[in-house]
């Protein structure tokens, strides 16, 4: 599947030809590097290279030639629930619509899979609000808490905000 990025707010001839695509094995080291650059600054949780390979089929990427510009993962948690994870846009490629188009790719795939709810745990709730997500109590996502949060070193004092999108409505504003 490939989805064209929308026209960026900052006109750039290169951004107009960028596409969202499924990740390949050649992207794994670049995804690991991009995510962990932001994780070191406390913007998101770190991922090991092993985690990236194990979950590689979850990932969408945007590349410019061989250069990775952005990534996101759609991770299924339960029969009705999936998570948007590891969303990262290279600093110099931000504010061009790439983050939004990656989340929309997750929404489309989650709908095609028959999932009912999509969520993200984030320090950027306003970004997700623009895409139709609403804030929720993480305890309203017990499958996430039981499966993953309990094993996280930050639990129970995690300050990420849970943002939820109901896929049964019209999710793409």
Ligand X SMILES: CC(C)(COP(=O)(O)OP(=O)(O)OC[C@H]1O[C@@H](n2cnc3c(N)ncnc32)[C@H](O)[C@@H]1OP(=O)(O)O)[C@@H](O)C(=O)NCCC(=O)NCCS
Which residues form the interface with ligand X (CB under 6 A)? Answer: 9, 38, 43-44, 87-89, 94-100, 120, 122, 124, 126-127, 130
Separation between Cα atoms, residue 167 and residue 171, nearest integer Å: 6
Q: Which residue is at the shortest CB distance from ligand X?
A: 99
The nearer residue to ligand X, 105 or 120, going by C-beta atoms, is: 120
Separation between Cα atoms, residue 98 and residue 94, nearest integer Å: 7
What does the CA dihedral 96, 99, 101, 106 come to, rounded to 10 degrees?
170
Find all residues with CB under 8 Å of 129, minimum gap 6, and list them.
Answer: 135, 163
Closest distance to ligand X from the beta carbon of 106 (Å): 12
The answer to whether the CB of 61 falls within 8 A of the CB of 3 is no
The nearer residue to ligand X, 43 or 54, going by C-beta atoms, is: 43
Closest distance to ligand X from the beta carbon of 165 (Å): 13
The nearer residue to ligand X, 82 or 89, going by C-beta atoms, is: 89
Closest distance to ligand X from the beta carbon of 88 (Å): 4
The nearer residue to ligand X, 56 or 100, going by C-beta atoms, is: 100
Q: Kindly report the length of the chain.
A: 173
């Amino acid at each position: 599947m490939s989805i064209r990025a929308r026209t960026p707010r900052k006109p750039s001839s290169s951004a107009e030809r960028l596409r969202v695509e499924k990740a390949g094995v050649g992207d794994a080291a670049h995804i690991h590097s991009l995510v962990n650059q932001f994780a070191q600054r406390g913007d998101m949780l770190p991922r090991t290279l092993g985690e990236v390979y194990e979950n590689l089929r979850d990932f969408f990427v945007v590349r410019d030639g061989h250069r990775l510009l952005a990534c996101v993962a759609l991770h299924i948690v339960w029969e009705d629930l999936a998570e948007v994870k590891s969303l990262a846009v290279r600093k110099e490629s931000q504010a061009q619509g790439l983050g939004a188009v990656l989340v929309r790719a997750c929404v489309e795939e989650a709908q095609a899979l028959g999932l009912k709810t999509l969520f993200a745990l984030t320090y950027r709730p306003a970004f997700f609000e623009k895409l139709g997500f609403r804030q929720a109590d993480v305890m309203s996502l017990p499958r996430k808490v039981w499966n993953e949060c309990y094993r996280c070193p930050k639990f129970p004092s995690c300050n990420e905000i849970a943002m939820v999108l109901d896929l049964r409505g019209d999710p793409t504003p």
